[in-house]
A and B are shown apart, each in its own frame.
Chain A
Amino acid sequence: MSSLTKIPAGVQYFFDDEVKLRRYVERRAMEVFAGWSYDEIILPMFDYHDLFARGMGEEKAERTYRFVDRDGALLALRPELTSLVARTVATRFIRRERPVRLCYSGEVFRYDEPTERAAREFHQLGVEQIGEPGIVADIEVLLVAAEVLAALGLNGFRIALSHVDFFNGVADFLKLESRGRARLREMIDRRNSIAVEEFLQTHAELVEESRRADFSRLIQIAGKQDVIRRAREILINERSLAAVDHLDRIYSTLESLGLGENFDVDLGDAGGLEYYTGLTFKVYAPGCGAEIGGGGRYDNLIANFGEPEPAVGFSIALDGLVGAISMNDDKLRWRGDGEVQTISFDGDAARAFEQARRIREHGKKVKIGAK
């Protein structure tokens, strides 16, 4: 097989307009992050495998590209950036004032699902805010994410809000062991309300039938205040109710800021339970068939690297943003080519380059043309 024509699965080359668009998107996003006082951190391409295993869990760290250092230590190409940020803050930012606000832009590498189409190399843009436990930090990162999407002209975006304690409260209430939890979680995640209702028939016999039916419909459809209202009527465990209160406070604030249209409350999202500890959210952009980003609160992560500290953040896939823009935005703002002055070369190199340098001194774009 010729390595001249074949390229490894999941890697990409970018050129022409695609490069311009990618750089434009990255620049705009980083401007928004900086505008909310997030300082950029540049992180290493690889680090010890153990670091990622601590950060994201053994299972996910299995999906990294691994190799050995010259001293035999196991290294991995970075599969995500949050663990690197968390370790840095826990070890080297100990004396800094809290909260610490950091943002990043960079490629990550991992085998995702074993499908042919899955990319193995992704470019992520994201922020992390460490040290602030309250709802204010939750709302701040949501607003930062929303501003990135709006700044890129993706006004039809949706951010779906959820909270891990909605599911955890229900699972605790039903006294489910780990297998039952996993089953219920999968059914809820797929909005399979029939299966949820059947599951509750056997695991929650003491709860009235109408309440079980209402619960299975609650996870079936996302919504706004209506979902919050119905959830309050249906739920009977404190932990889930507290999660709904938290979402209500967040959503009400967003609504009062005129962003109600862009946010949904989605109690059927039961993803990331191992990692997140509070608010979770997923970002969708018109024209993209899957989420392009997500985030939430992960108050247990930093403790893996030092003292426990609250943290909240998100990341968005550059590829997702680029895909959405190329489908929705025809203004081509990102091209920003500027005018090119062409100098025709007539044999007198000194004169041609003298002219060219003068154009460059004025900050203009120049091109040496053949005769």
Chain B
Amino acid sequence: MLTIALSKGRMQDDALALFARAGAAVAESELNSRRLVISTTDGRYNFVLVKPGDVPTYVEYGVADAGVCGRDVLMESRADVHEPLDLKFGRCKIAVAGKREVLGEDYNLLATVRVGTKYPRIATDYFHAKGVPIEVIALSGSVELAPLLGLSDRIVDLVETGQTLKENGLEVIDVITESTARLIVNRASFHLKRVEVSDLITSLSRAVGSAQESEAP
């Protein structure tokens, strides 16, 4: 039996649906319960439901053998784990956004850009790669407010449709990277539970493939 950490919330349903397509479904009664540990009916997987940002931690420490989380979370955590599969759901972008008036990529290289974000590491790496000095202002929500109130010049945040940005008079200035849900695997479980992990990777890989096909027009 493998223990798998899943992100509570946004991605949880998609992840469970994918597992169900891969032949490992969770009983309806368990789904409707408020338990934080649920198992598939075939007894192959135990799911632990944790905060999205904690998924890489559970997997890196080996408390969970594998996990499903967004690439954004994975990049930010820098967890030392395997990431064998792109599960192709939960698609969004990690983007730099700012106010219309201060658009443009030609940052004044001498000035420090203040960046409000939930992703301090991704933001730092991005601006440093461009040689732009920044001051990171770590926020945990309503990041769009920061430029409006003058707390920051830019924000780095997840963008799904761009609607929230637009309504707040902000625009995407640059897309840092695309993010989708990833399967991540603990480095030790990869060997200690090799057969189960191989089976997990191949069956999810197949389920992702069939989902892609059925979506294609």
- By a beta-carbon cutoff of 8 Å, the part of chain A in contact with chain B is 156, 158, 160, 190-194, 220-223, 264, 266, 268, 282, 284-286, 288-291
In the bound assembly, the distance between CA atoms of A282 and B191 in angstroms comes to: 10
Choice from A193, A220, A291 contacting B187 with Cβ under 8 Å: A291
Interface residue stretch chosen among B59-67, B97-105, B108-116, B131-139: B59-67
Indicate if B170 sits at the interface (CB-CB under 8 A): no
Interface residue stretch chosen among B20-28, B36-44, B79-87, B152-160: B79-87
| Residue numbers in B under 8 Å from A190 (CB-CB) | 81-83
| Residue numbers in B under 8 Å from A284 (CB-CB) | 188, 191-192
Choice from B62, B80, B86, B191 contacting A222 with Cβ under 8 Å: B191
| Residue numbers in B under 8 Å from A291 (CB-CB) | 187-188
Indicate if B194 sits at the interface (CB-CB under 8 A): yes
5 A-B residue contacts at CB 8 Å?
Answer: A192-B82, A192-B84, A193-B85, A194-B85, A288-B62
Chain A min CB distance to B75 (Å)? 12
Chain B min CB distance to A195 (Å)? 8
| Residue numbers in A under 8 Å from B198 (CB-CB) | 221-223
Indicate if B92 sits at the interface (CB-CB under 8 A): no
Chain A min CB distance to B62 (Å)? 2
| Residue numbers in B under 8 Å from A268 (CB-CB) | 82
Count B interface residues, CB 8 Å.
24
Chain B min CB distance to A187 (Å)? 9
- A158 touching B83, Cβ below 8 Å: no
Please judge, given known A-B contacts A192-B84, A194-B85, A291-B187, whether A286 and B192 are in contact too, CB under 8 Å.
yes
- B62 touching A290, Cβ below 8 Å: yes
Nearest B residue (CB) for A117: B61
Choice from B63, B185, B188 contacting A191 with Cβ under 8 Å: B185
- B191 touching A191, Cβ below 8 Å: no
- A192 touching B83, Cβ below 8 Å: yes
| Nearest 4 A/B pairs, CB to CB | A289-B62, A191-B84, A191-B82, A158-B191
Indicate if B190 sits at the interface (CB-CB under 8 A): yes
A194-B86, A290-B187 given. 17 additional CB < 8 A pairs?
A190-B82, A190-B83, A192-B82, A192-B83, A192-B84, A194-B85, A221-B198, A222-B191, A264-B191, A266-B191, A286-B192, A288-B62, A289-B62, A289-B63, A289-B186, A290-B62, A291-B187
| Residue numbers in B under 8 Å from A290 (CB-CB) | 62, 80, 187-188
| Residue numbers in B under 8 Å from A222 (CB-CB) | 190-191, 194, 198
By DSSP majority rule, is chain A's interface helix, strand, loop, or mixed?
Answer: loop
In the bound assembly, the distance between CA atoms of A192 and B182 in angstroms comes to: 10
In the bound assembly, the distance between CA atoms of A286 and B62 in angstroms comes to: 10
| Residue numbers in B under 8 Å from A286 (CB-CB) | 192
In the bound assembly, the distance between CA atoms of A339 and B201 in angstroms comes to: 53
Chain B min CB distance to A331 (Å)? 21
Task: Give residues of chain B (48-75) contacting chain A, Cβ–Cβ below 8 Å.
Answer: 60-63
Choice from B188, B197, B201, B202 contacting A289 with Cβ under 8 Å: B188
In the bound assembly, the distance between CA atoms of A192 and B75 in angstroms comes to: 13
| Residue numbers in A under 8 Å from B84 (CB-CB) | 191-193, 220-221
Please judge, given known A-B contacts A158-B194, A223-B198, A264-B194, whether A288 and B83 are in contact too, CB under 8 Å.
no
| Residue numbers in A under 8 Å from B188 (CB-CB) | 284, 288-291
| Residue numbers in B under 8 Å from A266 (CB-CB) | 191
In the bound assembly, the distance between CA atoms of A14 and B38 in angstroms comes to: 38
Nearest A residue (CB) for B183: A191
In the bound assembly, the distance between CA atoms of A191 and B83 in angstroms comes to: 6
Chain B min CB distance to A133 (Å)? 28
Task: Give residues of chain B (136-189) contacting chain A, Cβ–Cβ below 8 Å.
Answer: 185-189
Chain B min CB distance to A222 (Å)? 6
- A289 touching B191, Cβ below 8 Å: no
Q: Which of A190, A268, A286 has the most CB of B within 10 A?
A: A190
In the bound assembly, the distance between CA atoms of A193 and B186 in angstroms comes to: 16
